[in-house]
Structure 1
């Protein structure tokens, strides 16, 4: 039986909430003061996530990713996306991949393809996906767009957790994440749609129905991201990607739903909600 301070997921719930509030406070402070400081926050999160993931891959599978080029290239790609837009993402990721190909030469042929494939995967999964958060931040209303994005991802987690604990009976993917239920997904969907309608209307001046669509998209994407991370951890035979965040595991354990959701949020808001810039 889990400890009284824990959750049904086996986490220390008060600790997890405290860490989550702290991270949210850092993000909110950077958004409300000077937007570019949020870019620095994202860059730091990306660099730490790459370092964290390389350690897990090395311990679990013996994969030696080129983590220095991946981290440096990912951060540089995000920074260049601020002045140069989407084109910088493609060029930056391609350049980072080329650098990884050369960097890995020093270790010889043994395991070259596996190591390079892992490096490219991490570059795309973390570097490219996080770059879309930079693109959201660029317009004059970028802070509101990022805030909308973060609120919806939090609503997904809170709605899913609450509905899953109170009414979760039918497993969604028992072989991947046994505690994730269809009832929990319903809670995520309802919370995301409500939060989306309010955020798009009040923060971005868009139509409420756009927020409903965005809420559905984020509920699906965040769930896919969470299940994907669960598959990766099961494949590697680890419970968490790290121990940096008490009550959560590693930083990558918090990035799982954020990364793919950043891509979808940028795309939908770009098409359906005109920017102020």
Structure 2
């Protein structure tokens, strides 16, 4: 199990950062990142739809995926077209796309209604697919521009390193030293010691990322203050841990161990991205309020 995790990570992480490097060189429009996010969204909504169907709900795949894809795309609009204020702000577009999508979900179910039963459950399942994946991914992708076009992947990398550093810290400390369970009914594998490992791993990964990566993106630029990068990593690790538990809630309630059997030792794509997309909006907020941008 551990060997599989390390081996797959050794392949996926370099490929991901190669994609980021190519997209950075391609320009501020970030077309490669946009296409990548849509592919992730398409697969993730399929996995979530399959999980929810096991609870006798009947959500469609097409409508939530289409509206989620349009919401993610709306975040790119100000970077593709020159709009006057306030339409030059990506979060404005995302909020409007999210609101209009909710209206369309209700309209769709009203049109399909024939007799009482199942419509509210199905509507709730589709709204969950849309918000959990579409809205969270849409907001998370705004890290691409929060620190400026040339430093966008410093911000995205900080989220990935801190969240996954927290995952790794929780896994190793929990595996070898953990005994007391954190929330046994929801996630039997997580321990209290593993929770401390998440804080340690997330904080350390964040400090190392900012220390070594800042100068790579902007030569000669000093990294942010140590306290800010450490605080950032610890917060992201905490939120990422909650994100992992949130996905566990969905899986346990649907009586499944993994979201899918896509990758050995990891499960499905949802199992891989759960902590990242859950912590993404918090990471964006922290980039606004912490002194992480020193240029």
Alpha-carbon displacement from aligned partner over 1:124-178 (angstroms, at most 9, x marks no partner): 1111111122110123211111111111112111111111122112211122112
Quote the residue 2:249 is aligned against: 231
TM-score, scaled relative to structure 1: 0.88
| 1:15 is the counterpart of 2:4 | yes
Matched position secondary structure for 2:182 = strand
Quote the residue 1:115 is aligned against: 122
1:196 to 194, 206, 215: 206
Matched position secondary structure for 2:263 = coil
1:189 deviates by 0.6
Structure 1 unmatched runs, 5+: 1-11
Q: Is the 8 A contact 1:47 1:71 kept in 2?
A: yes
Matched position secondary structure for 2:75 = helix
1:274 deviates by 6.0
Matched position secondary structure for 1:247 = coil
Alpha-carbon displacement from aligned partner over 1:83-121 (angstroms, at most 9, x marks no partner): 241112211112222222233333634311111111111
Quote the residue 2:58 is aligned against: 64
Matched position secondary structure for 2:142 = helix
Q: Show the 5 A alignment for 1:207-246.
A: 207-246=225-264
TM-score, scaled relative to structure 2: 0.83
Query: 2 CA distance for matches of 1:40 and 1:147?
Result: 18
Q: Show the 5 A alignment for 1:78-157.
A: 78-82=72-76, 83=78, 84-104=89-109, 105-106=111-112, 108-109=114-115, 110-138=117-145, 139-140=148-149, 141-157=151-167
1:268 deviates by 0.2
| 1:259 is the counterpart of 2:277 | yes
| 1:167 is the counterpart of 2:182 | no
Q: Is the 8 A contact 1:200 1:206 kept in 2?
A: yes
Quote the residue 2:69 is aligned against: 75
Q: Is the 8 A contact 1:66 1:100 kept in 2?
A: no
User: Comparing 35-44 with 187-196, which one deviates more in the overlay?
Assistant: 35-44
Q: How many equivalent pairs are there?
A: 265
Matched position secondary structure for 2:141 = helix
Quote the residue 2:86 is aligned against: none
1:183 deviates by 0.9
Q: Is the 8 A contact 2:184 2:190 kept in 1?
A: yes
Quote the residue 1:6 is aligned against: none
Q: Is the 8 A contact 2:228 2:292 kept in 1?
A: no
Q: Is the 8 A contact 2:67 2:101 kept in 1?
A: yes
Query: 2 CA distance for matches of 1:27 and 1:101?
Result: 37
CA distance 1:27–1:38, change in 2 (3 Å): farther
| 1:247 is the counterpart of 2:268 | no
